[in-house]
Structure 1
Amino acid sequence: MKTICVDEQEITRQIVKDIEQDEIAKAVKKLRQQATNSNELLPAWLSKTADALENNDWGILSEDFINMNFIGKNGYFLIIGPYQINRQSQPKRALSAIYGKIHDNQEPSIEQLENLCREKFGKLSHSIPINLSFTEIASCGNVSGESGEAFIVPNGWYFSNIVCGPALNNAKEQQQRFLGSSRECILKVFEYETANLLLGPLEDELNGERYRHMDTQVHEAGHASGLGFDFKIKHNLFQNYTYGGVEEWRADSLGFEFAACILPAQEAGKLVAVNFCIRFGLDAHRLGGIEKDTDVYASLISLEYLFQNDAVYVTKNGQLALRNLTYPGLLEAVELHRTHALSLTRRELTLKSPTGFFPLYNVDIHPSTQSIFQGLVMERCQGIWTKLQ
């Protein structure tokens, strides 16, 4: 049985390699063989994937993806399809494949988060996408490596342009980024004690993956709050990078709020630390910069509210430092993030027309904040991220 499993995994790796080399006919043939012989992957999903590849008809995968009918025995899965990422305000779509194993991690529960959304805003416009953490076995395309996505959002897949379905969080790639280039950036941007506080949860060998998972799950709950992410996509409300940046910052900040409601302050503060490592250690350094990239702009907004809350200052050595070097203090540092995101979300629910979204999603950035962000965050880390797009 062990030999069969090893052989099956090798064949699945070969399928991913075939996709990477644009050997579609070979991939289709192996997918049909695996649909008959596989002990790990779901036969129906493999057959539909082969049909989708052969006929370029990706809509046939939509329903099974939304209902998570692509996860096989013991959590193994293979997803193949066009996946779109946005870099420097430009969409980039490529046929992509990801083969991995889902982790058994259900904290916090979707029910708990949905109840919180209703409590805060009186309604929930659509269900919260579940975040599935996984270990990658093989990948290619826009979901592979440092230049691809480690957090694979459902609306990136070209399955009838769906915005529903699970988000996939690549634990292996996330760890490599956090403990590699991201860690180096955090140590350059922040003074020593602040950097150690921020990196602590990610360097926790027992709980690091759990913290990363929880951070992305409360972030998804933030997106679902208010009008809801799918409503905004369907009405084309993210017409430029600034609107998308405000949405990302809003999801972050509501994630902080939800974490504060379901976790002790010590633990909630650790999720804030994880978020800051993502925003200031990774997202702030995307090549699009302040004037093109959604994630860079979200990081800039986060710094703006930290300054407004007097939670950070610039040291004599030109590094950023937190005034309160504790995890409960880190949660207090994002008090304005939480307050403004709650207000913004409640206001968007009162809009009479979707066009009211545009003036609402406008954040004033102080020129000094932008100057500090460019000089002490972006320029300081130039050259560290060599492949990030």
Structure 2
Amino acid sequence: MSFLLIDEHKLAKQVIQNIEQNEIAIAVANLRQQAKTSDDLPPAWLLHTADALENNDWSILSEGFINLDFIGKNGYFSIVAPYRINRQGQGHVALSAIYGKMHGNQEPSIDQLEHLSRENFGTLGQPISRNLSFTEIASCGNVSGENGEAFIVPNGWLFPNSICGPALNNASQQQRRFLGSSRECIQAIFEPTTANLLLDPLEDDINSDRYRHIDTQVHEAGHASGLGFNLKIEQNLFQNYTYAGIEEWRADSLGFEFAASILPAQEAGKLIAVNFCIRFGLDAHRLGGMEDVDVYASLISLEHLFQNEAIYVTKNGQLALHNLSYPGLLQAVELHRTQALTLTRKELKLKHLAGFFYLYQIDIHPSTQSIFQGLIIDRCQGIWSQLQ
């Protein structure tokens, strides 16, 4: 059995290599061979993938992706399809492939989060997207490496209705990024005690993957709340980086609210630490600068921290939290939570969708923007330039 598993891994990796080298016909043949012999990958999904590649018809994969038919009985999965990423305000599409194994994370439950959303807003804009964390075995294209996506959003896949499928959180890539540049950035941006508080949950060998998983799952619950992310995409409401950035910040902040409802303050605070490490240690340094969606979301988060008087600049020119505890981190995002709740309730009361553009406006104080540029972006430029 172990030899069969080794052979399966080898053939699955070979398909990834075929895609990377644009050997489409060979990849199709290998996928069909896999379908005959694989015990860990679903044969029907592999055959559908081969057909989609051969005919350049990606609609074949839609139903299976939404229904999670791409995952085998032991958690192994493979996806091959065009995937779109946004960099410097531009969309880039590449045929991409990922082979990995899903984790068994099941908390919090989707039912629990959907109940919380209805409890807060009286309705749920859409079903909450399931977040699936996985360990990567091989990858290529826009879902691979430092310049690819570690959090693979469903609507990035270019087949119909992909937005209704799961988000995929690449724990392997997240950990690689954290152990390198992201951790260095957090240590450069924040004074040592604050930096240690933020980094400790991600340095927890036992729980770090769990914290990342819950953070992304409550974030997805935030997107589903209100009018719902899907409707906003369908109605082209994210017409520039500011609207999309506010949506990302709103999803973060509602995620904090949901975490506070389902977890003790100590644990909820650790999720916020994980979020800050991602936003300030990774997202703030994307190549698009201030006009990148995730950079702008990070800037909005910093603005609310200052407004909430939760953070200050030390004499050494580093950022520091006033309350150095995980319950204190939960208090630090109190304004995030209340403002996001208010924004979401207002969007549900819109009589015309055109009002969305007036509603989704957040003023950033010039001093916040200056601090963000100087103490976050510029300070880490040398760290990130080593990777680019």
Instruction: Tell me the TM-score range normalised by the shorter chain.
Output: over 0.9
**Residue 73 of structure 1: how far off its partner (Å):** 2.2
Output one character per residue of 1:111-166: Cα deviation in whole Å (capped at 9) or x when no partner. Answer: 00000000000001210011000000000000001000000010000112531110
Counterpart of 1:221 in structure 2: which amino acid? A
1:383 is displaced (CA, Å) by 2.3
Q: Give the TM-score, by structure 1 length.
A: 0.99
Give 1:386 deviation, angstroms.
3.5
Give the alignment of 1:206-245 within 5 angstroms: 206-245=206-245
**Are 2:65 and 2:162, in contact at CA under 8 Å, matched by a contact in 1?**
no
Which residue in 2 is equivalent to 1:335? 334
Q: Which secondary structure does the structure 2 equivalent of 1:354 belong to?
A: coil
Q: Secondary structure at the match of 1:383?
A: helix
| Alignment-mate amino acid for residue 248 of structure 1 | E
Structure-2 separation of matches of 1:343 and 1:172: 36
Offset at residue 206 of structure 1 (A): 0.7
Superimposed CA distance per residue, residues 147-201 of structure 1 (whole angstroms, 9 cap, x where no aligned partner): 0000001000011253111000001110111121100000000000000000010
Whether contact under 8 Å (1:16, 1:98) holds in the other structure is yes
Matches within 5 A, 1:61-210: 61-160=61-160, 162-210=162-210
The one-letter code of the counterpart of 1:330 is: L
User: Are the counterparts in 1 of residues 269 and 326 from structure 2 also a CA contact under 8 Å?
Assistant: yes
Aligned length: 388
Query: Aligned with 1:145: secondary structure?
Result: coil
Q: What TM-score do the two structures reach when normalised by structure 2?
A: 0.99
Which residue is equivalent to 1:321? Answer: 320
Is the CA contact 1:32–1:47 (under 8 Å) kept in the aligned structure 2? yes
- What percent of counterpart residues are identical? 74
Give yes or no for contact 2:94–2:141 (8 Å, CA) kept in 1: yes
Distance (whole Å) between structure 1 residues aligned to residue 48 and residue 387 of structure 2: 33
Correspondences of 1:46-65 after superposition (within 5 Å): 46-65=46-65
Aligned pairs (5 A) from 1:363-378:
363-378=362-377
Contact 1:146–1:387 (CA under 8 A) maintained in structure 2: no
Amino acid at match of 1:212: R
Match of 1:360 in 2: 359
Cα distance in 1, alignment partners of residues 40 and 86 from structure 2: 33
Please give the alpha-carbon distance, in whole angstroms, between the structure 2 residues aligned to 1:252 and 1:28.
40
What value does the CA root-mean-square deviation take over the aligned residues? 0.9
**Amino acid aligned to 2:284:** A
1:48-106 residue CA offsets vs partner (Å, 9 max, x unmatched): 00000000000110011001011002100000000000011100110000000000010
Q: Is the 8 A contact 1:11 1:30 kept in 2?
A: yes
**Secondary structure in structure 2 of the residue aligned to 1:200:** helix
2:154 touches 2:164 (CA, 8 Å); kept in 1? yes
- Structure 1, unaligned stretches of length 5 or more? none
In structure 1, what is the Cα distance between the partners aligned to 2:83 and 2:266?
37
Correspondence for 2:265? 265
In 1: Cα distance, 2:287 partner to 2:9 partner: 36
Q: Distance in 2 between matches of 1:350 and 1:87?
A: 33
Separation of aligned partners in 2, 1:240 and 1:209: 32
- Provide structure 2 residue ranges, at least 5 long, that are not aligned to the other structure: none
